[in-house]
Chain A
Amino acid sequence: MSQIINTKRGRREQSGPYGKLGHALNELDDRMGVAKGGRTFLDKIFPDHWSFMLGEIALYSFVVLLATGIFLTLYYVPSQDLTTYTGSYLPLYGQKVTEAFASTVNLSFAVRAGLLMRQMHHWSCDIFIGAIVVHMGRVFFTGAFRKPRETNWVIGTTLLILAIVNGFLGYSLPDDLVSGTGIRIAYSIILSIPVVGSYVAFFLFGGNFPGTSILPRFFILHVLIIPLIILSLVGAHMVLLVRQKHTQFPGKGKTENNVVGTPMYPVFMAKTTGFMFVVAGATALLGAFAQINPIWQFGPYTASRISYAVQPDWYMGFLDGALRIFPAWSFHSFGYTIPLEVTIPAVIFPGILFNLVMAWPTIERKFTKDNEMHNLLDRPSNRPKRTSAGVAVAVLCSMLFIASSTDVIANFFHLSLNTVLWSMRILCIVMPVLAYPVTYKICREMQGFAGAGKRKTANIVTRTAEGEYVATPAPAYVDDLVHEHELEAVPVPTYVVDVDDEVSSGEGGVRRVPR
């Protein structure tokens, strides 16, 4: 006769040492063998550095984008059919607007939390692409794209392009006065593609601009096709990351052949989960307190209307700036118009730029003849030529970005628009050319500077009996004294079994595993 233990403790003991969750996981492992993959995942080592968190901002912004985006699709109507607006915003009451515009205004004003969701979605997009760019900068300047990670660099660049494209598509969906102008510009840019431009434009828009099918098509692209591609590429990005393991900055005990850091569980999981909520929370705060894209003020788009001072979202800014400042070179011959004023800045320039970015690992290898595997990161100042080239391109893009608001600058500082335009033309050429040697010089200076890259210690200010103040630097941080302390082995966490003790030593929860 088995003894029936009907107490709380008894029931708990019956389900094993890890409780009901452990029991369920055991059942799952019996059937699918999740333990092996789960162990690899939970044991994945994350080298710890603050700059490695930048990519996570992008990842978690994408999560916020998906969540808020799904909410928006419940209320948005992807149709260009005309309807009469009869909602609560009086300045639009009775106007003929498209279903797309009416539904966006309605989801902002008539749906509970609709405006918050829409603003969060838009802010999240701005943050998403911003984080991608910053993350990309980190990867570039530290040389993390080098062999064996060129593929992931190309995937990342593709993700950036797709994110920009999808941002533009989403920005266009409300069909307000400002975004309609954006679609108009996009149509003209497509038209300017040599030979096939008009065919491609007519194919994409289902006829001449504006037509009635572009918004439904943009909608499918924006909510289905491109997000799916982004999602799968993000997956590939992550799988490659786990497969190739993280890069790390050089430091004590860190070599090309190991990864030093904290394991996924429990340390990094706590950090990264917390960080996800911080990203979502910051986005929610922006969505709640900072107005973005008040389409009700812009009104519906009709081809006869236009507003001045229209800029695209920031990530399209450098393209808009290039369009604005490019000289009006346009030729008419043999019955054809060759609009170089549009083709060069809006088609050829971004084409060259993104191809250059994608091909950079190959280009650099051609120059350096370096075919080794690299798992240790560079300090940017130790690779002055790469750093200078990257800064020059970043400066060019920043100048073009500033050029996208020539009118705002002219109006704000009471300058002539023509002066601002010509200044930006000159700055766009001069600044990148200046940026290269200046950055190069700074890098060389930093190489020779003892203690560069180390944390500065505080100055200890003491007052002598005579009243004189003397400042002396405090001693260096213990962590920075690389050669004085060797790594000490710490006990392997109890949940880790079958790990060779020789390689699983570390300090403060830091472990090393063979690559």
Chain B
Amino acid sequence: MKTRYRASFVAVVTLVVAGPVLGLAASAFASTNTYTRTPYQTGRANAGTPNSTNVVKNSSGTVVSYGNSAITYTAPSPSLATLGQSLFLENCASCHGTAANGVPANGTSGAFPNLVGLGPATIDFWIESGRMPAADPRAVQANRRVPRLSHSQALAIAAWVNSLSPSYPDIPSPNLASANVSDGAALFALNCAACHTIEGDGDALAAGTFAPSLRNIPAYQVVEAIRTGPGNMPRFTGNLSDFQVADIVKYVTTEIQHPQNPGGFGLGGLGPVAEGFVGLLLGVGLLALVGFWVGERQ
């Protein structure tokens, strides 16, 4: 009786102590496994991950492209990786390090992001929007400018960085034919306008950061930004499907970039600030001048 009691006691204690240890070890093992294999941010279908309608694999089973009727994500060709490495060493390694892990070369100071595992779309966005190579590495936020590297060079660098630790999302190519601009407008107001403003002009955020203007951004880069979340921008994955992203992109590339301006000159999208100046200077000012002309001046 006493022994049996002891045996059960020992069993319970062993389970209580060992269980969490085993569980933690198992989950750690499982999570490392998950990380290397599928670093998705969402399990939702058709949201920028290979969990999509159309998945194309090559003979060795690697995903070449995935997506759906709204957006197709294509991986950069692995054959570009060698070229990509030399381009990376030339243009990026002085800050991001020769292994793209954010450890800079000797003689360079500062903390630079680790690029390993970020996915081709991130690399492509930063290079093709001209933000990288950075004009001023110490700036709070890089400005959009004319890209230093060509489209194929950006793809090559993305291919090499991706070869270090394959990841997603791949480089998107939206098909806006069946996208709904009205849904896009509503989604834009809900998800984007809080920083980029409802007219898409962008605005200053805290401490030197800013939401850039959306007036001159190609469609695929809008998708890249939404899916990868550059800088301060949140990464929109689970809450927006590819179809919704296409709606937003259509709204941005049509109504934001080419607004219909019935009612005269759009006053720079600055809203009541510009309107106030026009109303006071042109309106009141002009009328006061007429009054000055009509009335006596002595």
Contact = CB atoms under 8 A, between A and B. Distances in A.
Contact of A292 (B140, B199, B275, B284): B275
B194 interface: yes
Interface string B250-288: 010011000111111111001111011111101110111
Contact of B291 (A54, A92, A289, A479): A54
Contact of A134 (B206, B267, B284, B297): B284
Contacts, number: 211
A84 B179 CA distance: 20
Interface stretch (A189-197, A389-397, A409-417): A409-417
Nearest to B194: A306
Interface residues of A, number: 78
B43 to A, nearest CB: 25
Interface in B104-160: 140
Given A54-B291, A418-B207, A294 B263 contact: yes
B202 to A, nearest CB: 7
A177 B140 CA distance: 31
A126 B288 contact: no
Given A279-B287, A290-B265, A411-B204, A123 B279 contact: yes
Nearest to A477: B298
B90 interface: no
A178 B198 contact: yes
Given A291-B264, A411-B203, A455-B298, A416 B287 contact: no
A312 B206 CA distance: 21
A199 interface: no
A408 B194 contact: no
A414 B144 CA distance: 13
Nearest to B181: A91
A416 B198 contact: no
Given A271-B294, A275-B291, A310 B263 contact: no
A176 to B, nearest CB: 9
Contacts of B210: 410-411, 414
A301 to B, nearest CB: 9
Contacts of B204: 406-408, 410-411, 415-417, 420
Interface in B183-239: 184-186, 189-190, 193-199, 201-208, 210-211
B5 interface: no
B290 interface: yes
A459 interface: no
Contact of B294 (A50, A249, A311, A312): A50
A275 B287 CA distance: 9
Given A282-B286, A308-B211, A455 B297 contact: yes
Given A56-B291, A275-B294, A314 B272 contact: yes
A304 B259 contact: no
A335 to B, nearest CB: 32
Closest 9 A/B residue pairs (Cβ)? A314-B276, A53-B291, A126-B279, A50-B295, A410-B204, A307-B198, A48-B296, A130-B284, A416-B208
Interface of B: 140, 181-182, 184-186, 189-190, 193-199, 201-208, 210-211, 251, 254-255, 259-267, 270-273, 275-280, 282-284, 286-288, 290-298
6 contacts: A115-B263, A286-B282, A291-B266, A313-B276, A411-B204, A418-B208
